Structure 1
Amino acid sequence: MVEEDESVKANGSPDLHLQHLQVSCPLLNGERVEYEGGAGGSVFTLTNYRLHIRTQDDIINVPVQLVESVECRDVTQLHLTCKDCKVIRCHFLSAEQCQDWSRRMNASVRPPVRLEEVFAFALLSCSTSTEEREVHDGMCRTGGHQHRFKSEMERMGFHTHSDWRISNINHNYRLCSSYPQQILVPASVTDQQLENVAAFRSWKRIPAVVYRHQSSGAVIGRCGQPEVSWWGWRNADDEHLLQSIAKACAADQKLLIMDARSYAAAVANRAKGGGCECPEYYPGCEVMFMGMANIHSIRRSFQCLRSLCAQVPDPVNWLSALESTKWLPHLSLLLKASLLVVNAVDRDHRPVLVHCSDGWDRTPQIVALSKLLLDPFYRTIKGFQVLVETEWLDYGHKFAGRCGHGENADDVNERCPVFLQWLDCVHQLQRQFPCSFEFNEPFLVKLVQHTYSCLFGTFLCNSVKEREERQIHQNTCSVWSLLRAGNPAFHNILYSPRSETVLHPVCHVRNLMLWSAVYLPNSAPSTPSDESCVPHSAPVSPEDTPVSSFSMNDG
């Protein structure tokens, strides 16, 4: 049981017997203590970045933006529900103390009114070392979409084929605010035609090619749904673009259009102005519906999973209770969809176009997982960074809305662990192919935590356009400064570069396992402390446990 007495403001005048508490939590650059208190050998420290609880036996270290909700239960018990599935319970000596800490925590975990309030900005701005600044500036100069885009185009052999071209139609994001500035399209399609296609696709997210299989020449593209509506609109330039993609691949088979939704959901979207491709208008294409759940169903499934994992385990009913959450079936369906793309591109030499409704949730899940299965480069630490930044960041996954750390991001209906679900699938692949990944499980666990922590600026904002406008790269540290290739803590000792080129996982639910390191208490793998790895940080005592090692108190 974690119990604590009256807290004191750090910037006030605490009683003499609490003076020693001021050194209980080593601070990062820019981190300041807002409240601190202790009793019976336990110390609570609330800063502008985290809640740090030091008990006689353990340390709980949770970033405040990782906390989704705070509520009082049983008068003296405070429940902190985290976005990564953990639940922390704190017991207090009185209801008044519990209410006081509830108010403090609720004020701390709310979405920021201004983006600059998140801790990632303070971390870098308070760095005074010239050497630290030079390291950070060097990382900023070597990153960026254009450098990454050019390298990827050359690596996949697009530069040697005249059937493809780089379009700058989205320069300064004038066409689509959630797309990168440069996109790859068939050479036979003009920018004027792309402009017409944008008027027909949801949020102007036109079909863009993001991968080419170097042996078969087949490509993978992504886009938003066509805006067919109940009127049954069609667009000649859109039809021409899809035909041109297949023609540029010299494909003998029809272009596979993979719609992540069910047919019923796609048709229902026509009432809101969306819809799906009509086969008679796209004679060179085949449409396949995957029946994947939308963000609302995934959110409910995750909430059920979190509730289950927070309970005292019941060995008799555990498997049936886990099945009832539907979390593993959702993972299974995502893996199956990705494997279908892999087989089409690798085995059948068939181009694939993937979309869902808007093209920024289920679409990057399928496309990124397919590329991971197809290409060993993306299974290296460097390649995985390229994969995440390209498919998730450059193409506009709404991290601010889905994670709830954007400005005034109070709408819980916008929140959903889409990226976490994808990382869970990557973990399932790691289990099935232990020698095929350069990075290990702690690497993925850290990535889960820092998707939400706001210690880094990598996952702030909803698009690359917003990140450029807010100068995120210049004013915050990158998560890849922690998860870098040179960090031995995240290197898989079983990794073999000569392992399978294309992975074909078993997708059935019975072959999947609950990711205990993320979802279950006291089961995280040993990982280095963030504070000892992140540039621009203050020294931290060696006994500090990582954020991943939450201590759960069941009372």
Structure 2
Amino acid sequence: MDRPAAAAAVAAAVAAAGCEGGGGPNPGPAGGRRPPRAAGGATAGSRQPSVETLDSPTGSHVEWCKQLIAATISSQISGSVTSENVSRDYKNIHKARQRLALRDGNKLAQMEEAPLFPGESIKAIVKDVMYICPFMGAVSGTLTVTDFKLYFKNVERDPHFILDVPLGVISRVEKIGAQSHGDNSCGIEIVCKDMRNLRLAYKQEEQSKLGIFENLNKHAFPLSNGQALFAFSYKEKFSINGWKVYDPVSEYKRQGLPNESWKISKINNNYEFCDTYPAVIVVPTSVKDDDLSKVAAFRAKGRVPVLSWIHPESQATITRCSQPLVGPNDKRCKEDEKYLQTIMDANAQSHKLIIFDARQNSVADTNKTKGGGYESESVYPNAELVFLEIHNIHVMRESLRKLKEIVYPSIDEARWLSNVDGTHWLEYIRMLLAGAVRIADKIESGKTSVVVHCSDGWDRTAQLTSLAMLMLDSYYRTIKGFEILIEKEWISFGHRFALRVGHGNDNHADADRSPIFLQFIDCVWQMTRQFPSAFEFNELFLITILDHLYSCLFGTFLCNCEQQRFKEDIYAKTVSLWSYINSQLDEFSNPFFVNYENHVLYPVASLSHLELWVNYYVRWNPRMRPQGSVLCIPVLGGSSRTPTQMLFAGSRTDEVHKVSCVPVLGPSSYKLFYLEVWGWGSPSPCFHIEVVERHVEIVSGLWCIDPDGPTVEAGAPLKKGEFAPPRHTFSL
């Protein structure tokens, strides 16, 4: 059957569903409003509710998809399209789905226990539990508590409902309700670290209530109960050993180190020099160990300035450390002053050193009265001190608490923007990005070496150095490179993951908890939004990292420093998160990645260019969750298909983070594809290939671009001078 007839068939199905021009329930910026239904549907003055107004996140969208798929199948197989054919094909598909659902339901009915990981064991099973869902109401089912997760499965088979929560994400468990009447008179509230709260109600059997409450407290907080984290019991085997991803000597060698100015020092081999630093550090070649020890005595926690990254051409460096212990009497250390001068001298292209203090100036002054402080420009004559005015961990913790309040369980649409603004979350993200951009610019454009520190050098310092390195070095924008960046700047250099996250600890109000690493990942996501083809990894990769930051399934983020990890035998007794990720790279790869080697990324650190990461922070709200791409039936015998017709062949309905096909497009059409499909942060929920083609053609006409010009692989690098930040290319 020819294309016009097929298009007519699709249009007929779309018209029956109440959509104009095949645009679907939410056609996007290129689609118009839907006209009233034709005869046989609703009255002329009525309209189907939009996706945004439906109580269910699926609703009419699913019905529209079913009719569209049925029409497509009919148009390609039967050669003639009638309403009877469409209806008959739809009924056949519906019956097949019912049989499949029944078969799967029978299989599920046979599963009396929750699925378990290797090494996982069940600790309690309680029936007649009510999950109080804030979106769909009370759901009755069976609750299983293992040493790794809370697993709830509803009694009814339709709709099937499963709640699967790793115990590591639980921050607090509290008893709630104590009425004297009713079957569900008591229960518990579970406060989670991943932006959601859970409520479970029970019948009055006291034993059941205590069994769940006690088991949750025991296994969600194992360290507080004298037990080991589940990561030590997890026995999954992967084909790749993630612990071998990062080798410090190899990474420094990649950077061209050691060289005549910098050496790999063994002074911290036994962690006696600095117990929170890695065993392998890079320091100036001319500095002796005795002098280095004196510098350590002058720096908080002994965290002396050490090299993180060196520019391959100018030799400008990023070094990181902690604050100097100047104190209220302006104490000096000649060895420290000489040390910073040596760092500056290692870069022959500049006679200046920029010291970026991440803290607020007022806070640094307060620290000075407590024995800390900052470098005085009069004492360090060739240094320039810059305060980045970034707030401390307590302010960030409070900001995240406010953010959680406005995104879960309900969202005030009328005050959404003002509520987000009131959390200051995006403002703090902006400050981090702005600080990192200043560091990167001094290195790249100013060819000037920089020293970065906060108070102790393991929170804001890690945020700034890793973000600046991500902007400067394209290697860190690959999957392996990003894993190495985390291993190096965060894990090996002693970011206190155990304290900041609270792994296995029941002290919900611990003042050491703070979303420092979450902010870093958020900043990375903001960069991927502005430079969508510059990163090899996708959004799912970032979300997976955050999920397992809390889960305690892997050993990657456990403990506070490298010394503790060796003491706990983390590398031998637990599995690396990178083993899991690197064994299925296709799931986490960005199909639009273009390896812009030697390109420095300068994201726009402005609130006008930043956005709340809805796919992470609001993902538990089904009314805000992006709908997955529709499974579109490929045109049979499609040798004559244009590149835009091939876009969604093979797309899957169960994934919102990626499409499973890489389009083959010309450079201009590739950019248009991003505009049409990825402008909403995930595949558009209802774009059929014909619709995408129509939209691309419309925009092509406006831009005077041939949408089906010479075809090249999407990943092919652009010509010299053609690279531009995507913010100038796409209207997001």
Q: Structure 2 length normalisation: TM-score?
A: 0.65
Output the amino acid matched with 1:85: M
Distance in 2, matches of 1:41 and 1:465, equals 47
Q: 1:545 to 1:93 in 2, by over 3 A?
A: farther
Q: Deviations over 1:278-307 (max 9, x none)?
A: 111100100100111111111111111111
The one-letter code sitting in structure 1 at the alignment partner of 2:427 is: P
SS at match of 2:260: coil
Counterpart of 1:122, as a letter, is S
Counterpart of 1:531? none
The answer to whether structure 1 residue 85 and structure 2 residue 184 are counterparts is no
The amino acid of 1:217's aligned partner reads: Q
Q: Which of residues 600, 606, 623 in structure 2 aligns to 1:508? A: 606
Q: Which residue of 1 aligns with 2:345?
A: 247
| 1:48 partner letter | D
Residue in structure 1 matching 2:390, options 292, 295, 300: 292
Q: Tell me the equivalent position of 1:16.
A: none
- Displacement of 1:72 in angstroms is 3.7
Alignment partner, residue 526 of structure 2: 428
| Alignment of 1:438 onto 2:527 | no
Structure 1 residues 209-288: aligned runs within 5 Å:
209-288=307-386
Query: Is the partner of 2:511 in helix, strand or coil?
Result: helix
Aligned to 1:26: 115
Q: Secondary structure at the match of 1:323?
A: helix
Give the CA deviation at 1:110. 2.3
Shift of 1:37: 2.2
Aligned counterpart, 2:402: 304
Bigger shift: residues 172-181 or 50-59:
50-59
Residue 420 of structure 1: CA displacement? 0.8
Of 121, 124, 142, 1:43 maps to: 142
1:58 to 158, 161, 164: 161
- Cα separation, 2, equivalents of 1:339 and 1:94: 58
How many angstroms apart in 2 are the aligned matches of 1:200 and 1:492?
45
Q: Secondary structure at the match of 1:27?
A: coil
Aligned-pair distance for 1:153? Answer: 1.9
Alignment of 1:391-430 (within 5 A): 391-405=489-503, 412-430=510-528
Match of 1:176 in 2: 274
Check the 8 A contact 1:257/1:286 in 2, yes or no: yes
Cα offsets for 1:95-131 (capped at 9, x unmatched): 956665444323332251478611111113xx6xxxx
CA separation of 1:545/1:22 partners in 2, compared to 1, >3 Å: closer, same or farther?
farther
- Candidates 100, 106, 119, aligned match of 2:230: 119
Deviation string 1:334-370 (CA, Å, 9 cap, x unpaired) is 0000000010000110111100000011000000011
Q: Give ranges in structure 1 of 5+ residues lacking alignment.
A: 1-19, 528-542, 547-555
Backbone CA RMSD of aligned residues: 2.6
Using the TM superposition, name which of 35-44 and 366-375 deviates more. Answer: 35-44
Structure 2: distance between partners of 1:206 and 1:323: 38
**Which residue of 189, 193, 203 maps to 2:291?**
193
Deviations 1:133-173 (CA, angstroms, capped at 9, x unpaired): 9x57x554x356xxx222222221233x3111111111211
Specify the code of the residue in structure 2 equivalent to 1:119: F
The aligned residue for residue 7 of structure 2 is none
Q: In 2, distance between residues paired with 1:408 and 1:92? A: 23
Aligned pair 1:475/2:573, yes or no?
A: yes
Distance 1:510 1:89, change over 3 A: farther
Q: How many residues end up aligned between the 2 structures?
A: 500
Bigger mean CA offset, 211-220 vs 36-45: 36-45
Partner Cα separation in structure 2 for residue 115 and residue 445 of structure 1: 30
- Aligned partner letter, 2:143: F
Matched letter for residue 511 of structure 2: N
In 2, the alpha carbon distance for the partners of 1:139 and 1:451 equals 15
Q: Structure 2: which 5+ runs fail to align?
A: 1-108, 129-138, 179-185, 629-652, 657-732
Letter in 2 for 1:47: T
Q: Whole-Å Cα distance in 2 between the matches of residues 90 and 504 of structure 1?
A: 47
Q: Would the aligned equivalents of 2:168 and 2:504 in 1 still touch at CA under 8 Å?
A: no
Q: Is the contact made by 2:265 and 2:281 (CA closer than 8 Å) also made in structure 1?
A: yes
Deviations 1:465-508 (A, max 9, x none): 11011110100000001221752111111111137711111111
Partner of 1:60, secondary structure, is strand
1:88 positional shift: 2.3
Once the two structures are superposed, what CA deviation does each residue of 1:435-467 show, in whole Å capped at 9, x if it has no partner?
Answer: 011110011111001011100011111101110
- Aligned amino acid, residue 261 of structure 1: R
- The letter of the residue matching 1:87 is N
Taking a change above 3 Å as real, the CA distance of residues 408 and 238 of structure 1, as seen in their structure-2 partners, is: farther
Which deviates more from structure 2 when the two are superposed, residues 80-89 or residues 325-334? Answer: 80-89
Aligned residue for 1:316, secondary structure, equals helix
| TM-score using structure 1 length | 0.85
The structure with higher relative contact order (CA 8 Å, sep 6+) is 1
**Does structure 2 conserve the Cα–Cα contact (< 8 Å) formed by 1:72 and 1:99?**
no
- What amino acid does structure 1 have at the position aligned with 2:162? I
Residues 1:154 and 1:524: Cα distance change in structure 2 (over 3 Å): farther
Residues 1:478 and 1:447: Cα distance change in structure 2 (over 3 Å): same
TM-superposed deviation, 1:70:
2.0
Among candidates 324, 330, 334, match of residue 428 of structure 2: 330
Which residue type is aligned with residue 495 of structure 1?
Answer: F
Partner of 1:414: helix, strand, or coil? coil
Q: CA deviation at 1:545?
A: 11
Question: Shift of the alpha carbon at 1:510?
Answer: 2.5
SS at match of 1:353: strand
Q: Which amino acid aligns with 1:65?
A: G
Supply the AA of the counterpart residue of 2:147: N
**Matched-pair contact (CA < 8 Å) for 2:221–2:505:** no
